[in-house]
Amino acid sequence: MKWPIIRAELIKEGFEFDFQISEKKDQIITLSKEAVEQGSKKLIVVGGDGSLFEMVNGIYLQNKVSPSDIVIGQIPVGTGNDWGKMYENSLDFRKSIQIIKEGRTFRQDLGTIYFPEEKKRYYFVNIAGLGFDGAVLKEVWKQKEKGRNGAMIYLLMLVKSLFGSGYHKVTLTYSGTKEEQIIFSMAAGIGRYNGNGMMQLPFSHPADGMLDVSIINKIGKIEVIREVKNLFSGTYVKNKHVRIRRTDKIIIESGKKIPVEADGEFLGYSPVEIGILPAGASFFINKTDFSIDPKIKDYAPDIVQI
């Protein structure tokens, strides 16, 4: 448990704070809501992307102040910690504390995800996925419920899901237009990284008011394995089975239920509506360099507004 060490470091650096310890899934939602209602406008979450997801959803449950007036800091101790990679935030907790102490903030967009059948809405800070992505996270959460966690568990569940996951016939709706596609996996978001460092949305900008969407159509499993290394560099976008799009809202419907995740949290099944909330939350961050890697810049024009 790193908290005692982190707490000592925060005190050493002059932070004055109250704290609560989350003991179960979704408890951070309640704790962050209560903290804001009691007057807090600066919150720090010690955890991974899932903990950050819960904190953001907590501040959107309260009505005392505008959620965009609250500033959130993260001291990452999770497995993937993909959200912070966009801002080159450090995985070293001491450096993370220094980033918060320096006080550099950035107001980014939030993704919205709505399940019409359950009438449930969530906000996410990074990337939502369905199909293969959702299947992996569903298996990972089964392992977490058994007390198993870590990068190796994620890798094992990725392999298991790869050979157990099929293809999905979906209907995509955007700008009043519908199109049917057969997909292996799909991701939509405002961040660039997920899956412990995979650059699945390499052209995303966290504050442009748009969602980037990656659609991987029907593709052979062996070809998926060959493309894994290219997922980490973002160069997988040149594969003929990949489509990159940009939109402010997309509706995904399917005959067969497809698992859906966001920020590493398994949330439910299709149908689902994914949208954007511009400038939805403020965060303590390190850098705001969102330039595109020269190795893949030539593929950026493939993005079209839909």
CATH code of the domain covering residue 24: 3.40.50.10330
pLDDT of residue 155: 62
CB 127 within 8 A of CB 264: no
Pair 100, 119 in one domain: no
Percent of the chain residues past pLDDT 90, beyond the cut: 62
Beta-ladder partners of 128: 188, 262
Pair 66, 121 in one domain: no
Q: What range defines the domain where residue 71 resides?
A: 3-109
**Tens digit of each residue's pLDDT (9 = 90 or more) over 105-135:** 999 999 999 999 999 999 999 999 988 766 6
Residue 92 scores a pLDDT above 50: yes
**Is the overall model pTM greater than 0.85, yes or no?**
yes
Give residue 104's identity as a one-letter amino acid code: R
Quickly tell me which residue has 């405002």 as its tokens. 190
DSSP 293: P
Single residue among 109, 133, 164 that ends a domain in this structure: 109
Would residue 293 count as lying in a domain? no
The CA distance from 225 to 184, in Å, is: 13
Q: Report the mean per-residue pLDDT for the chain.
A: 88
pLDDT of residue 177: 82
Would residue 301 count as lying in a domain? no
227 or 1: whose pLDDT is higher? Answer: 227
pLDDT of residue 65: 93
> How large is the average pLDDT for residues 12-19?
96
> How large is the average pLDDT for residues 59-85?
92
**Tens digit of each residue's pLDDT (9 = 90 or more) over 246-271:** 899 999 999 999 989 999 898 999 99
Pair 236, 214 in one domain: yes
Among 51, 126, 57, CA closest to 86: 126
Would residue 213 count as lying in a domain? yes
Would residue 58 count as lying in a domain? yes
Pair 65, 79 in one domain: yes
CB 157 within 8 A of CB 167: no
Pair 203, 246 in one domain: yes
Residue 275 scores a pLDDT above 80: yes
Residue 193 neighbours by CB distance under 10 Å: 25
| Domain count across the chain | 2
pLDDT of residue 164: 59
